[in-house]
Chain A
Amino acid sequence: MSDLLNTLPPDPIYDRREKIRAITAKTLRRRTRLSQLFVGAISTTLVIALVPLVLVLYTIVQRGGSDLTLAFVTKLPQVPTIGQQNAIGGIGNAIVGTLIVAAMAAAMAIPLSLILGLYLVEMNTRLARIFRGGVEILSGIPSILLGVFAYIFIVIPQHHFSAFAASVALALLMTPVITKAVETAIRGVPDAVTEAGLALGARRSVVARRVVLPAARPGIITGTLLALARAMGETAPLLLIIGATDSSTWDLNPFHSMSALPTLTYFYSNSSFPSQHRAAWGVALVLVVLVLILNVTSRLISARLSRRAQA
């Protein structure tokens, strides 16, 4: 029997395997060490990526935290004078201004995005695909250009800066983001749900309004909150169109210029009063808190969603 085995020709595959095993054994240690080095290097990049987040948040809290008093967030700004260099008053009107502008932008962008999202899902035509491309390109257009557009389109005809013009620019900024979220959320609704609605004899519009959109609601809310957070912190277009960043009145007419947190931060950081430099950190802190509340809420909703989807 063993004679028979010895007379067989050598197995080429077995030989090669042995050879490979010998080579790998020789290089194993080197490869392991290189691999550990590489994994160590990319792990370092993760740490590097998180450093700025920690530094920025720490600096804002450290330098702006002491400003965070009730008076600061509710009172009107006070222009420093030679005698009273440290009196800066509050930023109440800027907080309210930011909220008003964001609310007006959301009031325009949300309904529009719902309809545009439905359009993109419902229409499977070439026109719809071109339209989707247009919306995507808009989402990559720098916000300053939307500011230029609102300036030409609204500020020039009306002859003055306005919160309304700012909200139009922000609405244009939010619409592509929310539309994309609406489209993705609707596509995530199981077909069976849609079909059940249609099978009951409901019209398409009724199915869309009463079945599809409610089923897609969590995804839509997530996307909307993210877009709103982004719009609230947006500074560049406001610099062009909201006007009077140093406004110190409670004038809340949307067709007048208005104070807002991002522009106020910018204005204070450029100011010639040291007290306003310091106050810029307080304004930035309030702005970041507002934005992070929206952002984290949105993330919590989407995390709960994906957990439910897994279960």
Chain B
Amino acid sequence: MNQSTKSLLSRRNASDSPRAKGARGESDRFYVWTLRGFAALFSAILLEFVYSIVHQSWPAWTHEGLTLLTGTTWNPANSVYGGLPLILDTVISTLVALLFAVPVGLGTALVLNFVLPRRLQTITASMVELLAAIPSVVYGLWGLYVLVPWMSTTIQPWLGRLSGGAWPFSGDPLGAGIMLASTVLAVMILPTIVAISRDVIAALPKDLNEGALSLGASRSQVLRKVILPSAKSGILGAISLGAGRALGETVAVLMVIGGNAQMPRSLFSVGATLASTIATEYTEASPGNVAALGALAVILMVLTAAVNAFARRLVRRTGALSS
């Protein structure tokens, strides 16, 4: 993949021969240094981005230390900065969203590749991808005014009755809360999971499908026992990319999760994620609180960067991401 024959500079040896020197060589050098200069500038911005957030959070880390990660109470008004409820809400809402989105996403990716006639594939895939085009504030609005009433009057009472009020369906059916946030997140990350796993599956050698079919395997056997296992690492990458999006999603979650930073007790509890807390408290924070919110930003940054780096490594190996 890195063997770019397009790279003009890979022919550097040829053009750097004595004959190529002179005015033309000078100009090429200017071109090269312009490219390098802008790459350096952008790298500097990236470093400044990381530095400024870490720098702002520094007082919180030296003051509070690990409490920022393990403390169970987040109450900035009283200068209590325990980040654990926020971290848990972020991670739990993402995991539950994956629970909804992964089966639907994988099924959709398989249908797009193997069941639909070729003419319908592109148009259907674009429709699924349109889900990613709808702004998150619109999902938030929809969640707030359509899903909250539906959850609190229909779904959650039903789940409560069905489980006898047992965990994780215990508590009052408020509508807003972790469960609703997960539902909205599932819709929002679905296009990511579908698009990447569709590419990963499409990048598999055709022989796998044809070979298995010719051996007499049924359609479902081919898909379940040959295609899915072969695409496993790429699909895991697709799921992780979706998880990365869900961890950092802000406004849609903020509008439907209830905005109450407390340790989660069940799927029905209201909560607050790292991102939603930064969004609501940042601009009105006192200097001490700003450092703690900066620490939340650092935690979120590390979390999403790690998940994304992991995901890209997996997807890159399948050769699907370059397409």
Cβ contact of B275, chosen from A129, A144, A212, A262, cutoff 8 A: A144
* Cα–Cα, bound, A230→B130 (Å): 11
- Contact status A148-B8, CB under 8 Å: no
- Residues of chain B contacted by A145 (CB below 8 angstroms): 49, 53, 248, 297, 300-301
Interface residue B126 (Cβ < 8 Å from any Cβ of A) = yes
- Contact status B6-A121, CB under 8 Å: yes
Shortest Cβ distance from A51 into chain B, in angstroms? Answer: 9
- Residues of chain B contacted by A288 (CB below 8 angstroms): 134-135, 138
- Contact status B282-A299, CB under 8 Å: no
Interface residue A291 (Cβ < 8 Å from any Cβ of B) = yes
Interface residue B203 (Cβ < 8 Å from any Cβ of A) = no
Q: Which of A136-157 contact B (CB under 8 A)?
A: 136-149, 151-153
- Contact status A43-B111, CB under 8 Å: yes
- Contact status B137-A233, CB under 8 Å: yes
- Contact status A239-B133, CB under 8 Å: no
Interface residue A50 (Cβ < 8 Å from any Cβ of B) = yes
- Contact status B255-A266, CB under 8 Å: yes
- Contact status B141-A148, CB under 8 Å: no
Interface residue A85 (Cβ < 8 Å from any Cβ of B) = no
Q: Which of B23-31, B63-71, B157-165, B168-176 contacts A (4 or more CB under 8 A)?
A: B23-31
Shortest Cβ distance from A170 into chain B, in angstroms? Answer: 13
Given contacts A121-B6, A123-B7, contact A233 B136 (CB under 8 A): yes
- Contact status A42-B111, CB under 8 Å: yes
Shortest Cβ distance from A228 into chain B, in angstroms? Answer: 11
Interface residue SS majority, chain B? helix
Q: Which of A254-311 contact B (CB under 8 A)?
A: 262-263, 265-266, 269, 277, 280-281, 284, 287-288, 291-292, 295, 299, 303
Shortest Cβ distance from A267 into chain B, in angstroms? Answer: 10
Which A-chain residue is minimally distant from B104 (CB atoms)? A45
Interface residue SS majority, chain A? helix
- Residues of chain A contacted by B7 (CB below 8 angstroms): 121-124
- Contact status B9-A122, CB under 8 Å: yes
For the side of the interface on A, what is the size category? 35 or more
Q: A-facing mask of B182-196, CB < 8 A → 1, else 0? A: 000001001000100
- Contact status B241-A140, CB under 8 Å: yes
* Cα–Cα, bound, A216→B251 (Å): 35
Interface residue B85 (Cβ < 8 Å from any Cβ of A) = no
Which B-chain residue is minimally distant from A270 (CB atoms)? B255
Q: Which of A33-41, A65-73, A75-83, A99-107 contacts B (4 or more CB under 8 A)?
A: A33-41
- Residues of chain A contacted by B278 (CB below 8 angstroms): 144, 148
Given contacts A31-B221, A208-B31, contact A236 B8 (CB under 8 A): no
* Cα–Cα, bound, A81→B70 (Å): 47
Interface residue A8 (Cβ < 8 Å from any Cβ of B) = no
What count of chain B residues pass the 8 Å CB interface test?
96
Q: Which of B103-141 contact A (CB under 8 A)?
A: 103-108, 110-112, 115, 122, 124, 126-128, 130-131, 133-141
Interface residue A52 (Cβ < 8 Å from any Cβ of B) = yes
- Contact status B104-A38, CB under 8 Å: no
Between A and B, how many residue pairs show CB distances below 8 Å? Answer: 278
- Residues of chain A contacted by B48 (CB below 8 angstroms): 149, 153
Interface residue B312 (Cβ < 8 Å from any Cβ of A) = yes
- Residues of chain A contacted by B107 (CB below 8 angstroms): 41-46
Q: Which of B32-40, B72-80, B262-270 contacts A (4 or more CB under 8 A)?
A: B32-40
* Cα–Cα, bound, A8→B118 (Å): 51
- Contact status A287-B138, CB under 8 Å: yes
- Contact status A292-B130, CB under 8 Å: yes
- Residues of chain B contacted by A32 (CB below 8 angstroms): 218
- Residues of chain B contacted by A187 (CB below 8 angstroms): 4, 6, 322
- Residues of chain A contacted by B10 (CB below 8 angstroms): 124
- Contact status B141-A280, CB under 8 Å: yes
* Cα–Cα, bound, A299→B130 (Å): 10
Some 28 contacts from A to B, beta carbons below 8 A apart, are A32-B218, A35-B219, A35-B221, A42-B115, A46-B128, A48-B104, A49-B108, A55-B146, A60-B138, A121-B7, A122-B7, A123-B9, A124-B10, A137-B305, A142-B300, A148-B297, A194-B6, A205-B28, A205-B34, A207-B8, A208-B8, A229-B133, A233-B134, A234-B136, A239-B251, A240-B279, A287-B137, A295-B133
Residues of A that sit less than 8 Å from B by CB: 24, 31-32, 34-35, 37-39, 41-46, 48-50, 52-53, 55-57, 59-60, 63, 112, 115-116, 118-119, 121-124, 128-129, 131, 133-149, 151-153, 172, 175, 184, 186-187, 189, 191, 194, 198, 203-205, 207-208, 212, 229-230, 232-236, 239-240, 262-263, 265-266, 269, 277, 280-281, 284, 287-288, 291-292, 295, 299, 303
